[in-house]
Amino acid sequence: MEIGKVPHDVLKNIVFDKLKFFDPDVMIKPGIGEDCAVLNCGEQLAVLSCDPITGASKEVGRLAVHVSCNDIAASGIRPLGLLVSILLPPGTTENDLEMLMTEIAETATAIGVSVIGGHTEVTDAVARTVINMTAIGISKKDQIIRSSGARPGDKIVVTKTVGLEGTAIIANEKEAELKKKFGLPFVEKAKSCITQISVVEEGIAAGEIGPEFVHAMHDITEGGVFGAAWEMAEAANIGVTVSADQIPVAPETKTVCEHYQLNPCRLISSGSMMIATSKPELLIEKLSEKGVLATVVGEFLDKADDRFVVKGDEKKVLEPPKSDELYKLD
């Protein structure tokens, strides 16, 4: 298998199909495109999600917090707590760990989420630091928004610009090379994309509109905006059409992708939320009030076989996500 997410057919046939027992209080089970599990806790729901950081070696503490909390935000609620598992390679110093924990603590404080437990160890099972976080949120039963709730006719709204996480990672990992080619100001601006990676506030804003009009949300991660659109359609068993010409791409992302011959629409994109809504104007106005750019980039369709990307007069089949563009870098 290629580096990156395990292919969806493998996930379904080898991973998900092996899971036979679910307690009646498990309200949302594992599935393609689902960001979170949901447990019935009486009058409230517990919303949980876990994510590792494996595609970056710098700013991993900040990335780990944001990526985990973004999944909870995709349910329309604020994250409450984080469980943090840290695997450190041999040779890691106490100073290295202190810097990592400073990143985690500062980012968690900025979002307003508590680190409530976890595990830390040094192991030769990893060649570089691996962080896995489990994020937890609490929701009322009538407030939860599922990743799989998109309906035919819903417009697809994307927040901010795509490829933010990938741009920040590449700018950090390839800093010397990019600085030589494009200069220090460009590199610093590309690195600063990490400051936009949280989608907590926009997820909450969409949640305030409510599930009557906001039917589904999905944090855009590996596989980029094209991958997220396919996953949301697959989760809802419907079709989708995406207009490539409408997808917002920042100048820094475009330059980095052109330099390394990457497709920004298939680049890891934490910082962008994909939202299925029957009231795009209302949602865009709500997000604009919070200073968040929001753009309609497509629409969900009736037939599951109808999944397309349209660019100008050209129409192509939207394929399931493959290995993220990030992994094409040396």
- Total structural domains in the chain? 2
At residue 123, the pLDDT reads 95
Task: Provide the CATH number for the domain around residue 96.
Answer: 3.30.1330.10
Beta bridge pairs of residue 301: 239
Residue at a domain's end among 140, 174, 197: 140
Residue with tokens 């709204």, as numbered in its chain: 157
Same-domain pairing of 162 and 299: yes
At residue 7, the pLDDT reads 78
Note whether 219 and 193 are within 8 A (CB). Answer: no
Task: Provide the token pair at 213.
Answer: 């009009």
Same-domain pairing of 206 and 295: yes
Least Cα distance to 192 among 251, 238, 146, 145 occurs for 251
Same-domain pairing of 196 and 271: yes
Same-domain pairing of 288 and 214: yes
Task: Provide the CATH number for the domain around residue 234.
Answer: 3.90.650.10
Same-domain pairing of 244 and 107: no
Q: Which residues contact 118 (CB under 8 A, 6 or more apart)?
A: 82, 83, 84, 85, 86
pLDDT digits (tens, 9 = 90+) for 129-171: 999 999 999 998 878 898 889 999 999 999 999 999 999 999 9
pLDDT digits (tens, 9 = 90+) for 39-91: 999 889 999 999 888 766 678 899 899 989 999 999 999 999 999 999 999 99
> Does residue 2 carry a pLDDT above 90?
no
Mean pLDDT of 282-299: 96
At residue 5, the pLDDT reads 75
Same-domain pairing of 307 and 164: yes
Residue range(s) defining the domain that contains residue 260:
155-328
DSSP 303: -
